[in-house]
Amino acid sequence: MSIKRIAAAALGAAALVIALAGCSGSGTAGTGEAGAGDAPAAAGDIKLCVYTHGDGGTFWSVVQKGAEDAAAAYGVTLDYQGSTNDSSRQASMIEAGISGGCDGIAASAPDPGAITDAMQAAADAGIPTVTVNSGSAVFADLGAFTHVGQDEIVAGREAGDQFDELGATKILCVVHEAANSGLLERCDGAAETFDGEVVELNADQALADLTAAEAKVRASLEADPGIDAVFAVNADVATGAALPAIAAVGRDIQVGTVDLSADALTAISSGDLAFAIDQQQYAQGHLAIELLFLAVTDAIELGGGLPMYTGPAFVTADNVDAVQASVDAGTR
């Protein structure tokens, strides 16, 4: 699927969600009219919960803002928590949310097996659920009615095409969370479309120690002079580890990344970073709340049993100035 078609589908889904919410029988606090099923009578009685593996940093704070803005727009209570890549803690959050009165639950699924029981327990309790950010291939197995986010294989494939256009022949794909299946899929997707070779580097816990991650990237580059591209599947790893390592080895190496940050946008503007894949995480948080709201108030489950994609979109030197305005507003 092309980037334009993915973006159009995401925008269409968002427009449909908003339009349907406007028709909701219980979408306005104080109407006293219940929606389908046993939904609360007023929006103010609804509690929607988002439990992710996020750390509240550059990326996840934007997801949270999207969820908060949607919750404010619909007048519902939001419980948003991140587990900082602790899968067992995330499962406990979901379990606590079930007993704590969540009417709908959204959860990321980088390690699906760790939250399967908790998510199925929510489904068994009649709580509508969606997966968000990670889990596009497994959401149905977790009892969720749809997934909101980016297909990581598709994103990786598009990255492989980008590196082909840049003339690269060998990519070092830097994985900063070894247990995150979505990150591995980004590398796998790149390998599917890239004409050259893709080699993976396990830089687990890179975000906790960018200096150590830089050393690992540098060692890989020094050991293999044939590497002429780095795919850092996280923006902070790209700017905080990959670019310094490349400067240290003194070679002309193309760099692409996933997700945005202030430093990544600066690096794109300066020509140090060739591209960043934008999965538009504000939309992930916002749409998750919208979808759950409709499921709770009117028993409407959008998605048709398929994922609802928010990306990939690409940020390059051609559009970085326009994207910067959205980043400054906190929506990208």
217 pLDDT above the threshold of 90 = yes
Q: Tell me which amino acid residue 76 is.
A: V
CA distance linking residue 29 with residue 46, whole number of Å = 10
Break the chain down into helix, strand, coil percent, rounded to 5.
Answer: 50, 15, 35
213 pLDDT above the threshold of 70 = yes
pLDDT at residue 38, rounded to an integer:
52
Nearest Cα to 185, choosing from 231, 139, 226?
231
306 pLDDT above the threshold of 90 = yes
The predicted model gives 260-273 an average pLDDT of 94
261 pLDDT above the threshold of 90 = no
The tokens 């990519």 sit on which residue?
A: 171
Q: Comparing 35-49, 53-67, 122-136, which segment has the lowest mean pLDDT?
A: 35-49
DSSP annotation of 44 reads G
Q: The whole model's pTM is what? A: 0.77
- β-bridge pairing 313-315 and 275-278: antiparallel
- β-bridge pairing 229-232 and 170-175: parallel
220 pLDDT above the threshold of 70 = yes
Polymer length of the chain:
332
The predicted model gives 121-147 an average pLDDT of 96
Residue 311: its H or E element: strand 308-311
Q: In CATH, what number does 3-151+280-311 get? A: 3.40.50.2300
The predicted model gives 14-25 an average pLDDT of 46
Q: Do domains 3-151+280-311 and 152-278 have the same CATH topology?
A: yes
Summarised one tens digit per residue, pLDDT across range 119-130 is 999 999 999 999
**Domain boundaries along the sequence of the chain:** 3-151+280-311, 152-278
33 pLDDT above the threshold of 90 = no
Instruction: Using alpha carbons, list the distances in angstroms from residue 204 to 70, 176, 222, 293.
Output: 33, 5, 20, 36
Q: Read off φ and ψ for residue 274, nearest 5 degrees.
A: -75, -40
pLDDT tier at 178, thresholds 50, 70, 90 = confident
Say what percent of the chain tops pLDDT 90: 78
Fold of 152-278: Rossmann fold (3.40.50)
pLDDT averaged over every residue in the chain: 89
Summarised one tens digit per residue, pLDDT across range 145-170 is 999 999 999 999 999 999 999 999 99
CA distance linking residue 79 with residue 152, whole number of Å = 27
